[in-house]
Chains A and B, each alone.
Chain A
Amino acid sequence: QSALTQPPSASGSLGQSITISCTGTSSDVGGYNYVSWYQQHPGKAPKLMIYEVNKRPSGVPDRFSGSKSGNTASLTVSGLQAEDEADYYCSSYAGSNKYWVFGGGTKLTVL
């Protein structure tokens, strides 16, 4: 059982927007502004898409955005494209005992 809760699946049509939620507790998501989102295509390594709740690494399209309210973080993908179809994992810093905790992942399907 993962520390953070994500919906197992999400879907959206080309060009539409989709939001994936990630629910934790005050000991992780709610306690720190260190929420990250990773994209993982089948057979590939995870790729950092969002860090520190809402910051995008260089090279990540601005179609990807992050936010947080209380113990729940969200990833929004706007203008869905075919290549966005992948698994998405949220992660949060959770202190020195647990360090990084992950969600169970959300499989995004682009229709």
Chain B
Amino acid sequence: EVQLVESGGGLVQPGGSLRLSCAASGFTFNVYNMNWVRQAPGKGLEWLSYISSGSVTIYYADSVKGRFTVSRDNAKNSLYLQMDSLRAEDTAVYYCARGYRSGDLWGQGTLVTVSS
């Protein structure tokens, strides 16, 4: 089955760190560009980061630049998002999404809650 499965979410204190993972299966992961997108409770979608298939090109939204780091391990069919200096406003469901100009495959999301 073609799917993406996120993990690593949870409750973290402000200023803390968390590492999200996205496991890909059912397709050739190493030829696809990948993205992270989040959705705060009751809010809309916000693109966070893009990484090309070979990790050569990486982009970040201004809201997370300098705090979040995207990476991937094509040998493990996995995408990662290292999140540091977390703030209350980072509370959201985090999705990984496959694609270049649009996301044609999304995971089910993992909830990150930043609170003391």
Write the nearest CB–CB distance from B104 to chain A, whole angstroms. 5
Contacts of B104 in A (CB 8 A): 48, 51, 57
Q: Is A101 an interface residue (CB 8 A)?
A: yes
Q: Tell me if B44 counts as interface (CB < 8 A to partner A).
A: yes
* Interface residues contributed by chain B, number (CB under 8 Å): 20
Tell me which of A97, A99, A103 has the highest count of chain B C-beta atoms within 10 A of its own C-beta: A99
Binds B, one of A17-25, A69-77, A88-96: A88-96
Q: Is the CB of A100 within 8 A of B35?
A: yes
B interface list, Cβ under 8 A from A? 35, 37, 44-47, 50, 59, 61, 95, 97, 101-109
Q: Which residues of A contact B (CB under 8 A)?
A: 2, 32, 34, 36, 38, 44-48, 51-52, 57, 89, 91, 93, 96-105
Q: Give complex CA distance A78, B59 in Å.
A: 37
In the bound complex, what is the Cα–Cα distance between A23 and B3 (angstroms)? Answer: 32
A36 near B103: Cβ-Cβ < 8 Å: yes
Q: CA A36 – CA B100 in complex, angstroms?
A: 12
Instruction: Decide: A52 and B102 in contact? CB cutoff 8 A.
Output: yes
A105 proximity list for chain B (CB < 8 A): 44-45
Separation of A51 and B99 alpha carbons in the complex (Å): 11
**B44 x A2 contact (CB < 8 A):** yes
CB-CB under 8 A for A102 and B46, given A51-B101, A91-B102: yes
Q: Which residues of A contact B44 (CB under 8 A)?
A: 2, 89, 102-105
Complex CA gap A99/B107 in Å reads 20
Which residues of chain B are within 8 angstroms of A44 by Cβ–Cβ distance?
108
Please report the C-alpha to C-alpha distance between residue A79 and residue B89 in the assembled complex, in whole angstroms.
Answer: 39
- How close is A53's CB to chain B, nearest CB, in angstroms? 10
Asked if B47 and A48 sit within 8 Å, CB to CB, the answer is no
Partner among A2, A48, A97, A98 whose Cβ is within 8 Å of the Cβ of B103: A48
